[in-house]
Amino acid sequence: MLDVIWNPELSDIDINDLGEEMASYQRSMLGCGHGFWEWDLGTNKLRWYGTFWRELGYSELDIQTMTAPEVLLNYIHPDDRALFQQAVTATIREGVALDLCYRLQAKAGYYLWVRVNGQGFRDASGWTHQLAGANYNISQLKQTEQALRASEARYSRIIAGTRDGVWDWSFDNNVISFSDICWEQIGFTAEDVRELNLTTIADWEARMSPVDVKRFKEALRKHILERAPFDIEYQIKAKDGTQRWIRARAEATYNKEGRAVKISGSNMDITELKNTQLAVVQAKVAAEQANQAKSEFLSSMSHELRTPLNAILGYVQLFDYDTNLTPDQCDNLQEVKKAGTHLLHLINEVLDLAKIEAGRMTLSMEPVYPQRLLDEAVRLVSPLAQEQGITIERDALQHQQSAIFADNTRLKQALLNLISNAVKYNTKDGSVNISLTAVGEGRLRIMVTDTGRGIPAALQAQVFEPFNRLHAELGAVEGSGVGLVITKRLVEMMGGTLGFHSEVGVGSRFWMDLPLAKEGVKSVSVQADDAFARTRKLLNLAEPKRILYIEDNPANTRLFEKIIQRFELLSVKTVMEPLLGLYEARTSPPDLIVLDINLPDLDGYQVLEVLKNDFLTRGIPVVALSANAMSQDVDKGLQAGFVDYLTKPVDVNRLVDVLNRHLGGQDC
């Protein structure tokens, strides 16, 4: 009967028992820390109990001044007074329970959030005579609530700013809650969602392809069971029928038993990104096709141009033996020869440029001594320099023993281009200076300086443009306009840089900075010496033999050549393209063919098949020399028809055994 108000006139409880009961209730009230109150509407007096009021800083004397309800209103925040009065009035008149949160002023002046609970007590006629209840401090709860709301608002702004949709899928009832942005991403308005009642995951999956639905479910299964990240891209049909790309990421929520109960995630519209990626891929494919078509065209044109050019230059050279020609006829033939040679040079340079642009130019990097290459380049350019009275000078080279890390053949080509340009575009009786200097740490500069006319500042930005001769085509100097372009790209492929400085009337300086070779890295010649030094077996041949070596790596070809040069009765012809190798084998059959496996256009097995099916070459023994050194590679090669299978790096003892076996010698 705890909810019944005690009436002393109707009770026979002893006064001592009653006192103990009241003391028990008083202890409970004080112990809970709440503030209890009672309002007698007949006397219009308020009474206050509990420690709550003392915690607000009010003393017993203060509380005695707060007995009138109108005085209490002065302690309530002005913004909450009207709401407080309405709630109390409703409790008095309608009998509804009093439950209200409001701000109450502490004695120090600040406000605390307070929650009040109470009810009215009526007599038999229905009139409310008393109100009673409790106040308790909820300031900390309010602060937490406000922080949560602020955090929620902040995250809502962040999500809204990203234009990502969010969703929450409950597994218990299969209901999915999508934010409006999710449906907006595929063209649906909030009104469309309500009218169509789009609330289940099936509504979303119905707009996906069966393949993507399967992928989605598999990703979901792995996420829930294996805790794998849920991050999937898929297509979905929009309201207008177009396909949109969505990237979905999510995280599952598990109960205490470890069972997934829901999953929450976000949808990002990545349609524009996918379209951009597709456009890039299509452009790349188109560029590759165009580049391939260009390469094929240039290769075909090279063959078509070389064939008649071979006849032209061949017959012109035959006239050199004809003593019946007049001086004018000899001069005319020299002009034809000069033009043909220039055309051949142009064809070669255009093909080189095409190979570089197509990424088919291969380099063989090794330690190279620039002093030796400069000797060769100067020797080749000297006749042209002598014709024009040009002096080629070389500084006292302090770095003659410094090796740079480069491709021997391509570095020589780059040096020839720079030195020949310095001669061709020089002034009569001018000079060319070549120097080697160290620049920075681990780099060597090769500089070529001329005393030519110089390049105007307005044209210097066009120096490395293909086929742009900077108006030199109007002069007497022949050229193609691609030499410097090729030189620059070759130097960059070797890890270097090419630069220049030019001044009209003074001359030009072109330089290339290349990395120095690291200690311990050996050149091809040294590798050949090392390999041969380990040789203990002898080559036993009774007569000279010819070898054809088909290999696309320049370093490997030079290494093989240097090894073969050690044997007096052996000669080797190296070819770097498989089709040229087949042509060489048919037109000048060797005694033995050494064949690489990984070749451009045709691999070693395809070349071997052509050789075996041609009656002119089927009798020539073919030896494989490849970096594919696994046992299954060797077995495959022998089964394909190679008479022997050598692996890289070449073992000279093993090579001698093979040569003795297939060229008629005896093993030693």
Which pLDDT value is given to residue 160? Answer: 56
Please give the average per-residue pLDDT across 448-458, as a whole number. 87
The answer, yes or no, to whether residue 445 has pLDDT greater than 70, is: yes
Whether the Cβ atoms of residue 390 and residue 582 lie closer than 8 Å to each other: no
pLDDT band at 349 (very low <50, low <70, confident <90, very high): low
The answer, yes or no, to whether residue 549 has pLDDT greater than 90, is: yes
Which pLDDT value is given to residue 474? Answer: 44
Which pLDDT value is given to residue 359? Answer: 63
* β partners of residue 511: 447, 499
Cα dihedral angle (587, 569, 566, 416), rounded to 10 degrees? -40
Q: What is the full DSSP assignment across 483-541?
A: HHHHHHHHHHHTT-EEEEEEETTTEEEEEEEEEBPPTT---HHHHHHHHHHT-------
pLDDT band at 175 (very low <50, low <70, confident <90, very high): confident
Three-state DSSP class for residue 134? strand
Please give the average per-residue pLDDT across 574-600, as a whole number. 89
Q: What angle do CA 166, 170, 173 make, to 5 degrees?
A: 140
Highest mean pLDDT pick, 328-337, 584-593, 623-632: 584-593
Please give the average per-residue pLDDT across 316-327, as a whole number. 72
The answer, yes or no, to whether residue 668 has pLDDT greater than 50, is: no
pLDDT in tens, 124-157: 788 888 888 888 888 888 887 777 777 666 765 6
The answer, yes or no, to whether residue 520 has pLDDT greater than 60, is: no
Which pLDDT value is given to residue 153? Answer: 65
* Of residues 28 and 362, more confidently modeled: 362
Which pLDDT value is given to residue 32? Answer: 60
The answer, yes or no, to whether residue 2 has pLDDT greater than 50, is: no
Which pLDDT value is given to residue 574? Answer: 92
The answer, yes or no, to whether residue 68 has pLDDT greater than 80, is: yes
Q: What is the 3-state secondary structure (H, E, C) of 604-660?
A: HHHHHHHHHHCCCCCCCCEEEEECCCCHHHHHHHHHHCCCEEEECCCCHHHHHHHHH
pLDDT band at 163 (very low <50, low <70, confident <90, very high): low
**C-alpha to C-alpha distances, 486 to 314, 321, 341, 404, 577, nearest whole angstrom:** 29, 37, 19, 20, 21
Which pLDDT value is given to residue 307? Answer: 57
Which pLDDT value is given to residue 3? Answer: 43
Q: What angle do CA 177, 179, 185 make, to 5 degrees?
A: 120
As a whole-number percent, the residues of the chain with pLDDT over 70 amount to: 78
Q: Which two tokens stand for residue 362?
A: 């291969």
Three-state DSSP class for residue 7? coil
Please give the average per-residue pLDDT across 184-206, as a whole number. 86
The answer, yes or no, to whether residue 243 has pLDDT greater than 80, is: yes
Residue 504 makes CB contacts below 8 A (sequence gap 6+) with 453, 454, 455, 456, 457
The answer, yes or no, to whether residue 14 has pLDDT greater than 60, is: no
b/e map of 496-522 (b: 16 or more CB within 10 Å)? bebebebeeeebbbbbbbbbbbeeeee
pLDDT band at 208 (very low <50, low <70, confident <90, very high): very high
pLDDT in tens, 457-506: 888 787 777 655 555 544 445 555 567 887 888 888 888 888 888 888 88
Residue 517 makes CB contacts below 8 A (sequence gap 6+) with 366, 367, 368, 403, 404, 405
Q: Which two tokens stand for residue 405?
A: 């890390």
The answer, yes or no, to whether residue 383 has pLDDT greater than 50, is: yes
The sheet that has 570-575: what strands, in order across it?
A: 570-575, 545-550, 592-595, 622-626, 644-647
* Of residues 537 and 440, more confidently modeled: 440
The sheet that has 230-237: what strands, in order across it?
A: 175-178, 165-170, 260-269, 243-254, 230-237
Please give the average per-residue pLDDT across 262-284, as a whole number. 87
The answer, yes or no, to whether residue 393 has pLDDT greater than 80, is: yes
Which pLDDT value is given to residue 621? Answer: 94
**C-alpha to C-alpha distances, 210 to 83, 128, 215, 244, 248, nearest whole angstrom:** 57, 69, 9, 15, 17
The closest alpha carbon to 434, from 366, 377, 350, 480, belongs to: 377
Whether the Cβ atoms of residue 415 and residue 477 lie closer than 8 Å to each other: no
User: Could you tell me the pTM of the whole model?
Assistant: 0.41
Which pLDDT value is given to residue 605? Answer: 92
Side-chain-facing half-sphere of 176: CA atoms under 13 Å: 22
Highest mean pLDDT pick, 252-266, 355-369, 511-525: 252-266
The answer, yes or no, to whether residue 451 has pLDDT greater than 70, is: yes
pLDDT band at 5 (very low <50, low <70, confident <90, very high): very low
Secondary structure element (H or E) that encloses residue 20, with its range: helix 15-32
- The mean pLDDT of the chain is 80
pLDDT band at 600 (very low <50, low <70, confident <90, very high): confident
The answer, yes or no, to whether residue 524 has pLDDT greater than 70, is: no
Highest mean pLDDT pick, 9-13, 52-56, 382-386: 382-386
Which pLDDT value is given to residue 623? Answer: 94
* Of residues 51 and 315, more confidently modeled: 51
Which pLDDT value is given to residue 213? Answer: 92
Please give the average per-residue pLDDT across 620-630, as a whole number. 85
Least confident of 158-162, 204-208, 258-262, 627-631: 158-162
Least confident of 76-90, 344-358, 516-530: 516-530
